[in-house]
Structure 1
Amino acid sequence: MASRTRRHKAPQGARDGSRRRVPMRLLLPCLVLVALMAMLMLRGYVHSEILADHRIRPEAATDKVPEKILDGGPVIDTRGGRTESLRIPDHRLVLTFDDGPDPQWTPKVLDVLKEHHAHAVFFVTGTMASRYPALVRRMVDEGHEIGLHTFNHPDLSYQSKKRIDWELSTNQLALTGAAGIRTSLFRPPYSSFADAMDNKSWPVTRYIGSRGYITVVNNTDSEDWKKPGVAEIIRRATPHHGKGAIVLMHDSGGDRHQTVQALDTFLPTLQKQGYTFGNLTEALDAPSAHTEVTGASLWTGRAWILLVSASDAVTGVLVVLLAVVGTLVIGRFVLMLVLSAAHARRVRGRGFRWGPAVTGPVSVLVPAYNEAKCIENTVRSLTASEHPVEVIVIDDGSSDGTARIVEAMGLPGVRVIRQLNAGKPAALNRGLANARYDIVVMMDGDTVFEPATVRELVQPFGDPRVGAVAGNAKVGNRDSMIGAWQHIEYVMGFNLDRRMYDMLRCMPTIPGAVGAFRRTALERVGGMSEDTLAEDTDITMALHRDGWRVVYAENARAWTEAPESVQQLWSQRYRWSYGTMQAIWKHRRAVLEKGPSGRFGRVGLPLVSLFMVVAPLLAPLIDVFLLYGVVFGRTEQTIVAWLGVLALQFVCAAYAFRLDRERMTHLISLPLQQILYRQLMYVVLLQSWITALTGGRLRWQKLRRTGAVEAPGGPVPRQRTRTSSSDRRPVG
């Protein structure tokens, strides 16, 4: 999994400007995201009836409805221009069930029908048939008839012909996928007796007939949906004087235990009275309403059912992952708040000392590659240090005169070491070999220190157990939106984390912008490694495994220039994420180590994996389900839940800002950071996962700098033009 930080020759397409293919590591995350969103949209579409129109039209005039329809039976046939009305013969009952299938009540209804050797007609909706295809297949296998009840259960008198066709065809698609059949039976939602047909519903009935369907209403309503009691359901469902009837019942839409109990009494009672319970076509001695589907139409239906099932499965997994990430996020927030408060009380307590004051000089290593825009500010900030330092600038093959700028400054105590471009770890090891002192401070070439930074950074070395110290990296260019978002991230996500990890004694990373090391500790673990792109995380984990303590110095502030464009931010975080994964993988055996040196493996490595890799990867599920809930669910409750999470994040952020003595004004952009910035970080992390899993190699990328960052109260930086595109080369 490790990858060397070497420069690679740019591909021909990049040099000559020709068209390049989208890298798989970019294409695959996009395809994964599109697929997941499609699954969620399909699930919401089928489950939440997002396109449903639940308006119910009031009664209208009936003067345009033929008398023989109003006075006729419950079966209306307008196919081929006919206007016929059919009645059910005496002593024949056709039980009909609307709105199913339901996973709880439909099987119980089917069990009762099977026990009493009765058949029925189930008018299914497309949404329910798509979700529970096995129940539809069972209905057909046990000899029952199926009818359409539209896909989304709208009042069709409000709908256009195009929408009616869509309701019918999609309902048939679900039926075909579930049972391999089509049906010619149809029942309009919100329908009643034939004499309730009016001037609004009659044109719909005629149009339905022109599409090849027989409209089935009812003439005996059990009103079981009112739950009036078992006896009352039976009374209302029983026809008078041996008349035939179509009985309306429901197997979905709520609690149907009264319907099931009523059936168990109703069926044997009326069978003893000479009634038969058959399908509609059996009662009318007509051909079956079912037609077997074959060929492409059958496979299209099956594909629909497969996609709906897949969307349910994917959503179920995402819900579990959402619960996991919710637990991780809340757990992390609680840990950060509790442990960071404890850390602040400890290090700010009266009389707290790490040990004897560290006053001896230290070596400061500044690896630099094409840092002409920043290097002067960096070096001058070091020479203004309140602590004695020697400054070693390691020029890693710069082509912009970085080394000449430092040499021209002619400052005492500042040395320049030149080398061919070999990478940042090699530059740091070169500097370490030339350092004079036992304590070594490392920083980036685009960072500036406050006068007290070095002094504050090295005081923890008064404790001989301390092998490294992490400083407090601050975003200097925070005036832009992207800069403000990174400022929030640095204060809340990094420094609050470091306080927590310090208390747990498993600090995962010494930031490259501001960190200090005991030289003997570095030498014991072999110095800076080129095995990963996150050499700072790699060396920190190595020190833990060697038994050293790694701590956080909150007052050792360094001001760094954060990326100012989405592209630069993407490049930086992609490298960080991928390098962190490499470091975790490299030190995975730490979980098996015992003794004090194994604490990081037992505590730190699992926490780093959960909080820095797994949780950030899953965190956008909160926003995904926010969108899902707003579109398909209970909008108000969803928004309230999301605002609750945002409020928790705001509390943590405000507390972190208070600990760092930062102004709260930048937290105004926190909601946008959570909505936009986090999604970018998610895609970057997903891309890093794919690169790691596919064995891809990632190069260093040089970020464009302006040299405009300075420490508060520091020297005014010289105004320079922006780095040209030719300077955007690897740091290492």
Structure 2
Amino acid sequence: MTTTTPSRGRRRAPTRIERAAGRAAALQRPRVILALLLLLALTCALLLDGYLRAEVGGDERVRTGASADKVPDKVLNGGPILTFQGGRATTVSAPAKTIALTFDDGPDPTWTPQVLKVLAENDVPGTFFLVGSMVSRHPGIVRTMVEQGNEVGIHTFTHVDLSYQSAGRIKREMEQTQLALAGAAGITTTLFRAPYSSETDAIDNYSWPVYRKLGEDGYTSVFVDTDSDDWKRPGVSKIVQWATPKSTDGAVVLFHDAGGDRAQTIKALPQYIKKMKAKGYTFTTISGVMEKQRAASRPDGASATAPSAAAPSATPSSAAAPSASTGVASRGRDIPADPATAAGSGRQAAHHKATGTTLYEGKALIWAVAVAEWTVPALSAGLVVVGVAVMGRFAMMLVLARRHHKQRTGRRFSWGPPVTRPVSVIVPAYNEKECIAATLTSLARSTHPIEIIVVDDGSTDGTADIAESLGLPGVRVIRQENAGKPAALNNGVRHARNDIVVMMDGDTVFEPDTVRHLVQPFADPSVGAVAGNAKVGNRTTLIGAWQHIEYVMGFNLDRRMYDLLRCMPTIPGAIGAFRREAVLQVGGMSEDTLAEDTDITIALHRAGWRVVYQEHARAWTEAPGSLKQLWSQRYRWSYGTMQALWKHRGSLTDRGPSGRFGRVGLPLVVLFQVVTPVFAPLIDVFTIYSMLFIDFRAALLAWLAVLGVQLLCAAYAFRLDREKYRYLLMMPLQQLAYRQMMYLVLIHSCITALTGGRLRWQKLKRTGEVGASAGVR
């Protein structure tokens, strides 16, 4: 045994890498928080979009046949406009030969613009009772509607029967629609029509308290005299006939500009307007009807500017009258109606100019909905891409792994003459006192001739002393100041006496035949490096079992696929063999990235060397034993992989055999190890969303189908590696918990890649238990 010890000096100043590592460490917590915020934002976008489409919080109940004995007869038999001026229920009817055209359920991007065009061409105003969720999705249509001189009212936010809803839900339905109107057109309104309502005689004991409460808050509830029933699509002539009042009666007439195919409505509307004008009818808004009735009720018949339809002067208190900025008394603000809209013809007397907080909250709602409207379809498309990529990867792994297994186990397969010459095994070690003895003892039992080089990277726990005290033959201990794993490996390569070097971790245990199996591919002179089969030794814990499944399925099955495609992306740090000549040719282990193993593997590909996978060369490693250590390790792996891929992005344009990795491997690694995992949480988020709000059974069956495919792949991988299937019982729980953590780690890594930063070679806490359990399955 020989020992090399560098001279000791005064404490050195931190290196550039160490200073960068310090800065990066300070940024870790904010990046984790940002990753969580991104997932939260995605969830909020889904919930908002689902709420807009009545998938979240939707209620399709409609009450029919209820008693109306508590409703005053003067309301049941009164006109279609219900107010509560002075706290008393009052109904208003349209004057003779006066029609107020009303439209429900919009705005609709297809039909509402066509309705507006017909009204404009015939110089007729309309009153549109709008669904708040539709307003927030199509604000431009509402803006045009108001600018054209039409009047708008509230038709709730999600088109629910308010008689079933709590007081809090009713308040939200009204306030949210007011905010949508404020954001879309800069106004609020005091008109209201309940979904599923018709004439006043349909008011029952359940809906009456709702109308009374809204009336006390200053809302004017609007019903109908004449229903065109255009939603039934009975034909143009029937729609015109059913919308025509009897004799010369005035009427509030109901049409629909949304909620289905309104082609018949668009054809019937101009015919109806021309017919009624020919009969001497005039058209106005709901506020216009109320103004005409006020004028008619004055003794002198004089005309006057219409007061706000829902802010009667008899109710001056802001606690009882609606706020002009929101139309809801509970907001506690009473801003006068905008003279530009409340004066004159009375067409828009129910409108109030939105100002202050209401205006900004409304604009924020419109903006949030626009983001959700853009985000959800984009995510849906991404989900399709991810789903296809995931299933494609599973199919590729199964097909290519099976072919790889048959090829390598066939009788005719041979790497060439057996490799029997000695090799050098390099063991970089930093504070590995729990594991170093087991590691070196396992190497001493090797059936292949080896020299062992332990590079102690500034350990402070006596690792080097333990290695020396074992007295094992052929072991050299080299001490160096702490410089990181790449530097330790390069130091070992410089001291190696043989042309083949095996690199392993200080916590890894080899089987006696591991080195012999690992070096046989070097019989082929084109092979520059060999990846071994890393196994999780501490698999008895839940976290260990999850990682065991991942190693067998996610790593080793992948390596078979990449080997067959001749684009292996990574030689694992736990077990890998290299031609010393090839390592020196590419400049050794680089400190440019956190994934020095991926970095050198890609560099070897670009230098023209072949990299292969040797499944029979097994190494038992101690996987992280806690979630914190696991996060730290996988964060370094995923971030380092991104760094290596970016460093070697030039391989995309490499020509000849050395360009195969750039043409095949790099795109596959980016797709399968970066893009797909980053967007894979979409599958889980959409699954949960679908289970909660759409179709629980269908979503559950889809999730179980995907799990079944994964179990099939895992079972095949376990069969190839001759592992026991009992660990697959942990797989469903792994998909629910472990995989989510890996998603967050990758998102964390992506954020770090975008914001910059470096990490030093991180040391995980070891227990040394692998030494006792190596080879036990």
The question of whether the paired residues in 1 share the 8 Å contact of 2:103 and 2:127 is answered with yes
Query: How far apart are residue 516 of structure 1 and its match?
Result: 0.6
The amino acid across from 1:71 in the alignment is: N
Q: Which residue of 1 aligns with 2:722?
A: 661
* Residue of structure 2 equivalent to 1:73: 79
Q: Does 1:695 align with 2:760?
A: no
Is residue 2:431 matched to residue 1:370?
Answer: yes
Give secondary structure in 2 for the equivalent of 1:99.
strand
Q: Shift of the alpha carbon at 1:491?
A: 0.9
CA contact (8 A) 1:76 1:214 kept: yes
Structure 1, 475-484 or 253-262: larger mean CA deviation: 253-262
Does 2:331 match 1:325? Answer: no
Structure 2 contact 75–90 (Cα < 8 Å) conserved: yes
Read off the aligned partner of 2:760 and give its amino acid letter.
R
SS of aligned partner of 2:453: strand
Which amino acid counterpart does residue 163 of structure 1 have in structure 2?
R
Question: What is the one-letter code of the residue matched to 1:321?
Answer: G
The amino acid of 1:164's aligned partner reads I
Give SS of 1:231's match: helix
Of 303-312 and 499-508, more deviation after overlay is shown by 303-312
Give the drift of 1:134.
1.1
- 2:10 corresponds in structure 1 to none
Distance 1:66 1:472, change over 3 A: same
Given the alignment of the two structures, is residue 313 of structure 1 paired with residue 378 of structure 2, yes or no?
no
Contact preservation (8 Å) 2:115, 2:266: yes
Q: Is the 8 A contact 2:20 2:758 kept in 1?
A: no
1:43 match: 49
* Contact 1:450 1:712 survives alignment (8 Å): no
**Which residue number in structure 2 is paired with residue 531 of structure 1?**
592
Q: For each residue in 1:679-713, what CA deviation from the matched residue of structure 2 results, as whole angstroms up to 9, or x when unmatched?
A: 21222222222222222121222101111114877
Partner residue of 1:17? none
Contact 1:112 1:264 in 2 (8 A): yes
2:679 aligns to what?
Answer: 618
Paired amino acid for 1:531: D
Q: Is the 8 A contact 1:6 1:422 kept in 2?
A: no
Q: Residue in 2 aligned with 1:492?
A: 553
Q: Structure 1 residues 714, 493: closer, same or farther in 2, change over 3 A?
A: closer
Partner of 1:340: 401
User: Is 1:561 aligned to residue 622 of structure 2?
Assistant: yes
CA gap 1:10/1:458 in 2 versus in 1, 3 angstroms: closer
Provide Cα deviations, 1:697-731, integer angstroms capped at 9, x if missing partner.
Answer: 21222101111114877699xxxxxxxxxxxxxxx
Report the secondary structure of 1:113's partner residue.
Answer: helix
Partner of 2:190: 184
Letter in 2 for 1:689: C
Report the alpha carbon displacement of residue 165 of structure 1 after superposing the two structures with TM.
2.2
Distance 2:670 2:727 in 1: 29
In the alignment, the residues of structure 2 paired with residue 4 and residue 332 of structure 1 have an alpha-carbon distance, to the nearest angstrom, of 42
- Cα pair 2:537 2:774 within 8 Å, conserved: no
1:434 and 2:495 are equivalent in the alignment: yes
Counterpart in the other structure of 1:641 = 702
- Alignment-derived partner of residue 262 in structure 1: 268
Kindly indicate whether the alpha-carbon contact (under 8 Å) linking 1:373 and 1:705 is maintained by their aligned counterparts in 2.
yes
Q: Is the 8 A contact 2:47 2:56 kept in 1?
A: no
* Counterpart contact for 1:5–1:532, Cα < 8 Å: no
Write the mapping of 1:210-609 to structure 2, written as runs, cut at 5 A. 210-284=216-290, 285=292, 286=306, 287=346, 288-609=349-670
Establish whether residue 155 from structure 1 lines up as the match of residue 161 from structure 2: yes
Distance 1:522 1:713, change over 3 A: closer
Distance 2:740 2:517 in 1: 36
Is the 1:5–1:530 contact (alpha carbons within 8 Å) kept by the matching residues of 2?
Answer: no
Distance 2:486 2:66 in 1: 83
In the other structure, the counterpart of 1:206 is 212
Distance 1:21 1:361 in 2: 46
Matches of 2:665 and 2:683, distance apart in 1 = 26
Name the CA distance, whole Å, in 1 between partners of 2:216 and 2:560. 74
Which amino acid letter does the alignment assign opposite residue 610 of structure 2? R
Q: How many residues align?
A: 708
Percentage of matched positions with identical amino acids: 60
Question: Shift in Å at residue 122 of structure 1?
Answer: 0.9
Q: Secondary structure at the match of 2:106?
A: coil
Asked if 2 retains the 8 angstrom alpha-carbon contact of 1:386 and 1:452, the reply is yes
Range with bigger deviation, 52-61 or 208-217: 52-61
Q: Contact 1:48 / 1:632 at 8 angstroms: preserved in 2?
A: no
Contact 1:94 1:277 in 2 (8 A): yes
Q: Can you give the 5+ residue segments of structure 1 that lack an aligned partner in the other structure?
A: 15-19, 717-732
For 2:587 and 2:172, locate their aligned partners in 1 and report how far apart those are by CA, in whole Å: 70
- Asked whether the equivalents of residues 560 and 709 of structure 1 are also in contact (C-alpha less than 8 Å), the reply is yes
Contact preservation (8 Å) 2:425, 2:451: yes
Change (3 A) 1:10 1:435: closer
Alpha-carbon displacement from aligned partner over 1:596-653 (angstroms, at most 9, x marks no partner): 1111112112222222222221111111222222334333333333333222222222
Tell me which moved more, 322-331 or 70-79: 322-331
Q: Would you say the 8 A contact 1:4–1:531 is kept in 2?
A: no
Distance 1:223 1:647 in 2: 50
1:723 matched to which residue of 2? Answer: none
C-alpha separation in 1, matches of 2:640 and 2:16: 10
- Displacement of 1:273 in angstroms is 2.5
How far apart in 1 are the matches of 2:776 and 2:551?
Answer: 24
Q: 1:532 to 1:83 in 2, by over 3 A?
A: closer
Q: Secondary structure of 1:259's partner? A: helix
Partner of 2:109: 103
Deviation at 1:39, TM superposition (A): 2.6
Relative distance call for 1:66 and 1:490 in structure 2 (3 A) is: same
Out of 310-319 and 580-589, give the one that drifted further. Answer: 310-319
Match of residue 728 from structure 1: none
**What whole-Å deviation, never above 9, does each CA across 1:309-343 have from its counterpart, x for those lacking one?**
12222223322322332232222222212211111
Question: Displacement, 1:413?
Answer: 2.2
CA contact (8 A) 1:470 1:552 kept: yes
Aligned residue for 1:666, secondary structure, equals: helix
Q: What is the distance in 1 between the residues matched to 2:75 and 2:31?
A: 65
Paired with 1:533 and 1:219, the residues of 2 have a C-alpha distance of 75
Task: Spell out, residue by residue over 1:442-487, the C-alpha distance to the aligned partner (whole angstroms, 9 max, x if none).
Answer: 1111011112211111111111100000001011111212111111
Distance (Å, rounded) in 1 between the aligned partners of 2:361 and 2:125: 29
1:173 paired residue number: 179
Query: CA 1:81–1:487 in 2, change beyond 3 Å: closer, same or farther?
Result: same
Deviation string, structure 1 residues 147-186 (Cα, Å, up to 9, x no partner): 1111122222223333322221211111111111111111
What's 2:311 paired with? Answer: none
Q: Which residue of 2 aligns with 1:725?
A: none
**Counterparts in 2 of 1:32 and 1:712: CA distance versus 1, 3 Å:** closer
Q: CA deviation at 1:8?
A: 5.7
Q: 1:49 to 1:641 in 2, by over 3 A?
A: closer
Residues 473 and 490 of structure 1 are in contact (CA less than 8 Å); yes or no, is this contact kept in structure 2?
yes
* SS of equivalent residue, structure 1 residue 48: coil
How far has the Cα of 1:500 moved from its partner? Answer: 0.9
**CA deviation profile, 1:64-99 (whole Å, cap 9, x unmatched):** 322222221111112331222211122222222111
1:654-687 Cα shifts (integer Å, max 9, x gaps): 2211211112221222222222222212222222
Counterpart AA for 1:236? W
RMSD across aligned C-alpha pairs, in angstroms? Answer: 2.3
The worse-fitting range, judged by mean Cα deviation, of 37-46 and 461-470 is: 37-46
* In the alignment, structure 1 residue 130 sits paired with structure 2 residue 136: yes
**What is the CA distance between 1:392 and its match in structure 2?**
1.7
Counterpart contact for 2:21–2:760, Cα < 8 Å: no
Shift of 1:5: 9.4
